[in-house]
Chain A
Amino acid sequence: MALLEVENLQTHFRAPDGINRAVDGVNFHVNAGETVAIVGESGCGKSVTAMSILRLIPEPPGKIAGSIRFNGRDLLKCSDREMRAIRGNEISMIFQEPMTSLNPVLTVGRQIGETLRLHQGMSAQQAEARAVEMLKLVGIPEPERRVREYPHQLSGGMRQRVMIAIALACNPKLLIADEPTTALDVTIQAQILDLMRDLKRTVGAAIVIITHDLGVVAEVAERVIVMYAGRKVEEASVEKLFRNPRHPYTQGLLGSMPKLGSSLTGEETRLQEIPGLVPSLKRKLEGCVFASRCSHTTDLCRKVAPALEEKADGHIAACHYAMKEAVAA
């Protein structure tokens, strides 16, 4: 049994002009100790998927349907109290903006200690001592001094380390990282990714990493889920996906990635972009979600939505022509 099994997840938001189907029927699973990346461009529903797992979507206007089984328990059927006991304890989360995700008026130690006091019943003193250990673990120098400092006294990279310390304080089984490096400098990004990889080994948590940065995916993930317009369009192991992307959208994503040094070797080529925009999620889409932007669109694509099919061993894609179009166009 997988650690996390998401089945037919639908997260819809009621808006004044209709229903926004931010996530519309997504299935995936995460095994214990595995790192899975969810990629896609802005507005594809990847963050909403992450937030739905912890049920952090405000309801209303949001509505989560389907099933999210964690260790066999359906999180969507849990009471608020049961959910609170899971959040920060068995499943924890790191957010994109370390600058604004920490509470500015509470000390770092208090914020790390809060989860320990909530979930492990530690006293304030025990929690602070453990907070110092956690700061040491995430590589913050002078943890005894930093533990009494406030977020504004730390740099962006250090704040993200503090967020990781908070997330890992209770040894969760699953860590959801929503664009954990997007707001950081490139050098700091690498440090944070290294840290996450190291900690994953020591803590043994499974990681779901949400990102639009394929470089990050190649760096940390074992399996990749590509999302587009609220659906999963492709899923494969990292090697397979990078070597042989099946879905035209994934091919587009990979094609739009700059290659280091390409301008120096004389093969200066224009980066390929994906034309057009993500379709509005307010209308029920007919046919393939990517049809309006795909260069291979046929009448079949516009009328019939392609099912997710296993195109090769462990390689799933939703495209009518994925078999034939195995190589990037």
Chain B
Amino acid sequence: MFAYVVRRVLATIPVMAVVALFVFSLLYIAPGDPAAVIAGDQATPEDVERIRQSLGLDRPYLVRFGAWVFDILRGDLGVSIFTNLPVVTMIKQRIEPTLSLMLVTLILAVSIAIPMGVVAAWKVGTWIDRSVMGFAVLGFSVPVFVVGYLLAYVFALELDWLPVQGYTSFSEGLWPWFENLILPAIALGSVYIALIARITRATMLEVLQQDYIRTARAKGAGQTSILFLHALKNAAVPIVTVIGIGIALLIGGAVVTESVFAIPGLGRLTVDAILRRDYPVIQGVVLLFSFVYVLVNLAIDLLYTLFDPRIRY
């Protein structure tokens, strides 16, 4: 087990290296010149050239990549072209809202989607099953920003139950923090809920056909115990896998959700950085997201052993 974890952690190094190369190259190839953006409309070609030199943008590709990787390994993600602040500092300022949003979404989605999927599989073919599936299709097909604006309109503007937008730090209390995250989390989570509910239903349908479920019934086990102990534990591996893969949805969706609900998080930082062609910030954030994704999926692989004793590393 320990050897496996070490091997897996080591295996993330080449993955991260490829991500780094990709992130670096993507911006190198992308159209638009940060020097020109900084210089503004009135600048002469000479001004632009001078700025480009001071940013080191005139050096060869591989030299720039090497220097960049070397800095990252020392924990230095560079300095923002726009604000002149270190990227690490900027990420630190923005990370709390994003992590909060993702965490609340994750918990909310899992605790809604899994019971939904389980009940749909239990009541397969009935109106309950059909409405869960209908909801899932809706969750998949309506974009995050539409759900977000609708929720904000109904629950914040019309009903005035929850704040329209903004973010309150966790340090100011649990409820103010949570209150601000409910609507964004539902908006961001709708696709995620749909995904988890569907996979839960499909896997549960298969598991409920198994002989050991009949054995559990023959023992006199109750419906709840059959569904949530005997069946769900057997269905856990595919469900947990999808939860892990779905983290990518959350990362992508967080960018849009933070814009809709004016949450000062990493998503907003990314959007702003892209609009300004603030290369070091974009690179830093994308690298961070990739790293989180790789780590989450490693954690999920290790979780498998908890649910299925037949899996051994």
Could you say which residues of chain B place their CB within 8 Å of the CB of A54?
Answer: 218
> Does B8 make an interface contact (CB < 8 A)?
no
Q: Number of residues in B with C-beta < 8 Å to the partner?
A: 20
| The residue from B210, B216, B218, B230 contacting A100, defined by CB atoms under 8 A apart | B210
Within the complex, what minimum Cβ distance (angstroms) separates A176 from chain B?
9
Whole-angstrom distance between the alpha carbons of A115 and B217 in the complex?
Answer: 11
> Does A14 make an interface contact (CB < 8 A)?
no
> Does B94 make an interface contact (CB < 8 A)?
no
> Does B310 make an interface contact (CB < 8 A)?
yes
Query: Is B211 touching A105 in the complex (CB atoms < 8 A)?
Result: no
Chain A residue at minimum C-beta to C-beta distance from B216? A103
Chain A residue at minimum C-beta to C-beta distance from B214? A56
**Given A95-B211, A106-B233, A88 and B308 contact (CB-CB distance below 8 Å):** no
Query: Is A101 touching B214 in the complex (CB atoms < 8 A)?
Result: yes
> Does B31 make an interface contact (CB < 8 A)?
no
> Does B75 make an interface contact (CB < 8 A)?
no
| The residue from A100, A105, A118 contacting B309, defined by CB atoms under 8 A apart | A105
Whole-angstrom distance between the alpha carbons of A105 and B216 in the complex?
Answer: 13
Could you say which residues of chain A place their CB within 8 Å of the CB of B309?
Answer: 104-105, 150, 152
Task: Identify which of B42-50, B138-146, B219-227, B268-276 touches chain A.
Answer: B219-227
The digit string for B188-224, where 1 denotes a CB below 8 A from any CB of A, is 0000000000000000000000111011111111100
> Does B100 make an interface contact (CB < 8 A)?
no
Query: Is A88 touching B234 in the complex (CB atoms < 8 A)?
Result: no
| The residue from B218, B230, B233, B307 contacting A88, defined by CB atoms under 8 A apart | B218
Could you say which residues of chain B place their CB within 8 Å of the CB of A251?
Answer: none
Query: Is A114 touching B233 in the complex (CB atoms < 8 A)?
Result: no
Could you say which residues of chain A place their CB within 8 Å of the CB of B221?
Answer: 84, 88, 114, 118
Could you say which residues of chain A place their CB within 8 Å of the CB of B215?
Answer: 95, 101-103, 163, 166
Could you say which residues of chain B place their CB within 8 Å of the CB of A115?
Answer: 219-220
Query: Is A95 touching B220 in the complex (CB atoms < 8 A)?
Result: no
Chain B, interface SS category: helix
Considering only residues 71-92 of chain A, those with a C-beta below 8 Å from chain B are: 83-89, 92
Could you say which residues of chain A place their CB within 8 Å of the CB of B310?
Answer: 104, 150, 152
> Does A119 make an interface contact (CB < 8 A)?
yes
> Does A144 make an interface contact (CB < 8 A)?
no
Could you say which residues of chain A place their CB within 8 Å of the CB of B229?
Answer: 106
Whole-angstrom distance between the alpha carbons of A101 and B211 in the complex?
Answer: 5
> Does A97 make an interface contact (CB < 8 A)?
yes
Which B residues have a C-beta under 8 Å from some C-beta of A?
210-212, 214-222, 229-230, 233-234, 307-310
Which A residues have a C-beta under 8 Å from some C-beta of B?
54, 56, 83-89, 92-93, 95, 97, 100-106, 114-115, 118-119, 150, 152, 163, 166
4 A-B pairs closest in CB distance: A88-B219, A87-B220, A88-B220, A100-B211
Cβ contacts A to B, 19 pairs, < 8 Å: A84-B220, A87-B217, A88-B221, A92-B219, A95-B211, A95-B218, A97-B211, A100-B211, A101-B214, A103-B215, A103-B216, A103-B230, A104-B310, A105-B234, A105-B309, A106-B233, A115-B220, A119-B220, A150-B310
